[in-house]
Amino acid sequence: MIPVRGYKDKRVAVLGLGRSGLSAALALQAGGASPVVWDDNEPARAAAHDLGLDVQDLSKDRPWVDVVSLILSPGIPHLYPRPHPIVAKAWAMNVVVDNDIGLFFRSYATRDWDMFDNQPQVVCVTGSNGKSTTTALITHILRAAGKPVQMGGNIGRGVLDLNPATDGEVVVMELSSYQTDVARSLTPDIGVFMNLSPDHLDRHGGMGGYYAAKRRLFIEGGPERAIIGVDEIEGRALANEMRQEVVSGDPVIAISTTQKLRGAGWSVFARKGFLAEWRKDRQMASIDLRDIQGLPGAHNHQNACAAYAVCRSLGLSPKVIESALHSFPGLPHRCQVLGAARGITFVNDSKATNVDAAAKSIGAFKNIRLIIGGQPKEGGIADLAPVLGDVKSAYLIGAAAEEFAKQLPDTPHQISGTIEAAVQQAIEDADVGDVVLLAPACASFDQYKNFELRGDAFVAAVAPFLAEGAG
């Protein structure tokens, strides 16, 4: 745990008692603060009470006496589509609003660092798609290279649950727009901007607000190295803003999977399955990504480019990085190849919760039996049309099924309703060489609590067929 600094003997309110909220309250307590906690759900309040935390209804006035800050969990809206009433209350009482990410950055560095030979560093990864895989991949490469490393944030452990820094350690954090939008302190050593596609727009008041939340990590944080995907206009604009040196482009490393990036600046790009590093008008390294099973498809090649750029910035050699890429197992629910039986391959990409992510997943395979649907997002799946050529049939599930059926006039499809029915129907229809792919392009909340449980349901439905095939 990282004890929170700067609040000793002060009262601090915490709203939301999930993983990040509970760890924030306990870290505040460890740093000498007096946390006052609340959650709209009674079971969460009971769990906090059992941990000895002071649970008080923050919708009332009395708990706010002498409170100096409100720490907000990422799932709670602070501005759009409307502020949570307790956030509005904090504003009215001139109480500053922060989150666990802000507390981490004000608390991670301590006087003990003066004794270290090598200063710890923090890498933060944000973007619409690929954050989790890139964060895990960076951590995997550093660990394979023998470097001390911890992973947290939106993946793994809550940031305040991490251990205090050790000599030369690297903390790799995945940060969502919900986290970067609220944090009052953002000071990463290396910032990574993967990409941007429409998502969470109701939470941010539109695409501009969504981009602004991501941009804060760089403009407010001022990282010493900014690794930026330039395949969208927002990334190109951000890279231009961050450039300080005209010739070298420092501190920016541009990454791409759609174009060759050359010139005097530092760039890493992937084309036709090969990763290339260019610097000072010459190629520094090249890696063949085509046979790396844990990183299938162009979207994973972008993840590889970002992780490579981070690890090169941290001093690792191309050969060390290449070796570690080959041993990366991939992440569950993210283009996860479950196996094959009777010539049919099964892939779980439950994390493909928006159209852009689903399109990238579809683009990684041929001869696809696509399972799609769930709680739909704005715009439906009309933008998938350019990548549906390799989809032999679609199986529609969840609340979006009827709506999506109308948007697939040229793709054979049927309404399956559930993942279990969709898997059975896909297996019955599949030929040797086909891929049964779960890439929902939707949130999971109509049928499942989260995308992980949706992916688990797919894995469970597929398991008997894989077992039978193995037998």
142: containing domain: 109-326
**Least trusted range by pLDDT, from 59-68, 170-179, 193-202, 388-397:** 193-202
Contact present, 435 and 462 (Cβ < 8 Å)? no
Say whether 128 counts as a known binding-site residue: yes
Residue 73 and residue 18 in one domain: yes
CATH number at residue 124: 3.40.1190.10
Q: For the chain, what is the largest distance between any 2 Cα atoms, rounded to a whole number of angstroms?
A: 68
Say whether 235 counts as a known binding-site residue: no
Residue 55 and residue 184 in one domain: no
Sheet holding 266-271, edge to edge: 149-153, 170-174, 121-126, 190-193, 225-229, 252-256, 266-271, 274-279, 282-288
Residue 21 domain-assigned (yes or no): yes
Q: Could you report the per-residue pLDDT of 357-386, keeping only the tens digit for each?
A: 899 899 989 999 999 999 998 888 988 999
The average pLDDT across 99-104 equals 97
Q: Could you report the per-residue pLDDT of 119-149, keeping only the tens digit for each?
A: 999 999 999 988 999 999 999 999 999 999 9
- Average pLDDT of every residue of the chain: 94
Tokens of 268: 């890493």
pLDDT category at 21 given cuts 50, 70, 90 is: very high
CA 103 to chain centroid, in Å, comes to 20
Q: Could you report the per-residue pLDDT of 411-421, keeping only the tens digit for each?
A: 999 999 999 99
Q: Is the pLDDT of residue 471 over 80?
A: no
pLDDT category at 262 given cuts 50, 70, 90 is: confident
Say whether 133 counts as a known binding-site residue: yes
What torsion, rounded to 10 degrees, do the Cα atoms 294, 425, 465, 350 define?
30
- End position of a domain, from candidates 76, 98, 120: 98
Q: Is 124 exposed, middle or buried (0-12, 13-18, 19+ CB in 10 A)?
A: buried
Contact present, 221 and 191 (Cβ < 8 Å)? yes
Q: What is the pLDDT of residue 76?
A: 94
Residue 94 and residue 113 in one domain: no
Residue 49 and residue 119 in one domain: no
Q: What is the pLDDT of residue 470?
A: 61
Say whether 146 counts as a known binding-site residue: no
Residue 159 and residue 298 in one domain: yes
Provide the whole-model pTM: 0.85
pLDDT category at 329 given cuts 50, 70, 90 is: confident
Residue 252 and residue 149 in one domain: yes
Residue 5 domain-assigned (yes or no): no
pLDDT category at 299 given cuts 50, 70, 90 is: confident
The average pLDDT across 200-222 equals 92
Q: Is the pLDDT of residue 174 over 80?
A: yes
Residue 6 domain-assigned (yes or no): no
Q: What is the pLDDT of residue 263?
A: 82
Q: Could you report the per-residue pLDDT of 33-58, keeping only the tens digit for each?
A: 999 999 999 999 999 999 999 999 99
Residue 153 identity: G
Q: Is the pLDDT of residue 182 over 60?
A: yes
The average pLDDT across 93-118 equals 96
Q: Is the peptide bond before 81 cis (omega within 30 degrees of 0)?
A: yes
- End position of a domain, from candidates 67, 98, 129: 98
The average pLDDT across 83-98 equals 96
Cα atoms in the 13 Å half-sphere on the side-chain side of 418: 6
Q: What percent of the chain has pLDDT over 90?
A: 86
- End position of a domain, from candidates 274, 299, 326: 326
The average pLDDT across 336-351 equals 94
Q: What is the pLDDT of residue 375?
A: 96
pLDDT category at 294 given cuts 50, 70, 90 is: confident
Residue 130 and residue 201 in one domain: yes
The average pLDDT across 161-168 equals 96
Say whether 127 counts as a known binding-site residue: yes
Q: Is the pLDDT of residue 296 over 90?
A: no
CATH number at residue 24: 3.40.50.720
How many structural domains compose the chain?
3
Give the integer Cα–Cα distance in Å for 166 and 149.
Answer: 9
Give the integer Cα–Cα distance in Å for 122 and 150.
Answer: 10
Say whether 129 counts as a known binding-site residue: yes
